[in-house]
């Protein structure tokens, strides 16, 4: 991928309708990206089916959800969950009676981790055991799913799995330094990648965030062939991250959060979509903007590129509703601060000589540096301190808007996807939000004008 290919037009759903099937491949968390896509599937009247990663017993064995967990998960999802554990990654797998990779990491200390070596043949055995466990469970899941999908029903597979951080004390301490540490607490992300510990973590990220998409496409091939033979269509989507185009100095420019250690796995995820696309399978990775979720909260400063979405809302024809978003965000700041103050801080960061080398698409994902981490994390803390309440942030408000817009865009774009890897930049996100909210709040006369222009607009 030499340059980001952006979704530019607001697409329209022309495939998915009542009775079609939406399969969420990952669990649902309250504020995660998947909530937006699921909302669209529900609005279209689709049957919703989910999976579970399962839960760990005290002895680390993996089990299905118990009755209470299952009923809670199904009511959150609004659909049936196939209760066969699909936890990915090999951090807790090992030959019976032998230590797991996480056990091996437990012996590492802050003093010695950089020179500690792992037995890669043994790690490979654990990886193969985990892959076997995952793919066997996936075969069972697919058999159940097959029986739930009638001929003639279109199917939308939405992959959301990402993760793979092993629960090892030493890594949690290092992650705190890499993603949250400044000054003397700063740590080089490259030092992690150069160590055996780092190499293990990258492999596990590949397993969870990328290979699971390949397995999903492979193991659903019988369903895909049957559904397509019955005249219906199948789509696959996954959430990628590979930087985002945001408004910087009045133009949309690509930038990224640094250090995004999972970036290698995200590029591998893209390669699965590219491979599938070449085989005639409609699989698309949508590279989405930085937002705050359960999974991204570890990255201090990831929210900084999100705040200029407010500028994009204005630029992309924002009216009364966009103005209301500015007011709602400004109300979250403590007396004496305005949104312009927060945006000015981000502008200063973006224009800094320290940051400019990091906005190099071809060099992504770059390792962090002391100066870059100090500036990113420091700016994040300063903007957080401008808020009245550290638990009600502008980035929370804007994250929810991005989840809404990306759900609409991905759902609709998947009717006629235009490529295997697409970026959802702030321009199209802002256009999508302004269009839906103008419709929701504008008087009937304008809505009639809208209707005459439906060829350029979307059906939501």
CB of 420 to ligand NAD, least distance (A): 16
Say how many residues touch ligand NAD, by CB under 6 A.
24
* Choice from 23, 162, 373, 394 touching ligand NAD (CB under 6 A): 162
| Cβ-based nearer residue to ligand NAD, 425 or 438 | 425
* Choice from 50, 85, 101, 163 touching ligand NAD (CB under 6 A): 163
| Cβ-based nearer residue to ligand NAD, 66 or 294 | 294
| Cβ-based nearer residue to ligand NAD, 227 or 349 | 349
* Choice from 154, 160, 220, 259 touching ligand NAD (CB under 6 A): 160
Q: Please give the Cα distance from 428 to 409 (Å, whole number).
A: 8
Q: Is 135 in the site for ligand NAD (CB under 6 A)?
A: no
| Cβ-based nearer residue to ligand NAD, 13 or 406 | 406
Q: Is 88 in the site for ligand NAD (CB under 6 A)?
A: yes
Q: Is 87 in the site for ligand NAD (CB under 6 A)?
A: yes
The burial class, CB within 10 Å (0-12 / 13-18 / 19+), for 149 is buried
Residues 9-48 as x/- pattern, contact with ligand NAD by CB under 6 A: -----------------xx-x--xx---------------
| Cβ-based nearer residue to ligand NAD, 190 or 295 | 295
CB of 226 to ligand NAD, least distance (A): 26
CB of 421 to ligand NAD, least distance (A): 13
CB of 249 to ligand NAD, least distance (A): 23
Residues 273-312 as x/- pattern, contact with ligand NAD by CB under 6 A: ---------------x-xx-xxxx-----x----------
Q: Is 196 in the site for ligand NAD (CB under 6 A)?
A: no
Q: Under rule CB under 6 A, which residues in 223-252 are in contact with ligand NAD?
A: 239, 241
CB of 452 to ligand NAD, least distance (A): 36
By beta carbon distance, the residue nearest ligand NAD is 32
- The binding site for ligand NAD (CB under 6 A) comprises 26-27, 29, 32-33, 53, 87-89, 160-163, 208, 239, 241, 288, 290-291, 293-296, 302
């Amino acid at each position: 991928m030499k340059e980001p290919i952006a979704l530019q037009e607001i697409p329209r759903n022309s495939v998915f309708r009542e009775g079609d099937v939406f399969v969420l491949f990952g669990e649902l968390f309250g504020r995660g990206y998947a909530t937006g896509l699921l909302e669209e599937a529900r609005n279209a009247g689709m049957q919703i089916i989910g999976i579970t990663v399962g839960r760990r017993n005290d002895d680390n064995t993996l089990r299905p959800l118990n009755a209470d967990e299952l009923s809670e998960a199904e009511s959150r999802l609004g659909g049936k969950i196939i209760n066969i554990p699909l936890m990915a990654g090999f951090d807790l797998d090992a030959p019976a009676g032998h230590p797991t990779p996480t056990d091996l990491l437990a012996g590492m200390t802050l003093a010695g981790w950089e020179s500690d070596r792992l037995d890669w043949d043994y790690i490979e055995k654990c990886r193969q055991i985990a892959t076997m466990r995952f793919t066997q469970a996936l075969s069972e899941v697919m058999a159940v799913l097959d029986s739930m999908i009638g001929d003639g029903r279109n199917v939308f597979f939405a992959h959301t799995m990402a993760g793979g951080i092993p629960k090892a004390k030493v890594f949690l301490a290092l992650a705190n330094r890499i993603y949250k540490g400044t000054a003397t607490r700063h740590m080089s992300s490259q030092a992690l990648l150069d160590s055996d510990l780092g190499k293990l973590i990258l492999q596990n990220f590949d397993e969870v965030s990328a290979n699971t998409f390949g397995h999903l496409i492979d193991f659903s091939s019988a369903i895909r062939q049957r559904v397509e033979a019955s005249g219906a269509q199948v789509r696959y989507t996954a959430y990628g991250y590979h930087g985002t185009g945001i408004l910087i100095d009045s133009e949309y420019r690509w930038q990224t959060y640094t250090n995004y250690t999972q970036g290698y796995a995200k590029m591998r995820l893209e390669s699965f979509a590219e491979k599938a696309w070449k085989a005639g399978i409609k699989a698309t990775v949508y590279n989405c903007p930085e937002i705050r979720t359960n999974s991204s909260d570890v990255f201090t400063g990831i929210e900084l590129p999100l705040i200029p979405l407010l500028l994009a809302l204005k630029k992309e024809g924002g009216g009364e509703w966009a103005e209301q978003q500015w007011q709602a965000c400004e109300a979250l700041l403590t007396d004496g601060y305005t949104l312009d103050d927060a945006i000015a801080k981000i502008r200063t960061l973006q224009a800094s000589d320290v940051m400019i080398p990091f906005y190099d698409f071809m060099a992504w994902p770059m390792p962090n540096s002391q100066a870059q981490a100090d500036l990113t994390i420091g700016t994040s803390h300063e903007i957080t301190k401008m808020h009245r309440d550290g638990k009600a942030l502008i980035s929370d408000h804007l994250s929810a808007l991005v989840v809404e817009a990306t759900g609409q865009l991905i759902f609709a774009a998947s009717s006629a996807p235009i490529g295997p890897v697409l970026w959802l930049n702030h321009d199209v996100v802002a256009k999508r939000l302004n269009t839906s909210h103008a419709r929701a709040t504008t008087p009937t006369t304008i809505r009639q004008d809208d209707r005459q222009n439906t060829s350029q607009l979307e059906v939501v």
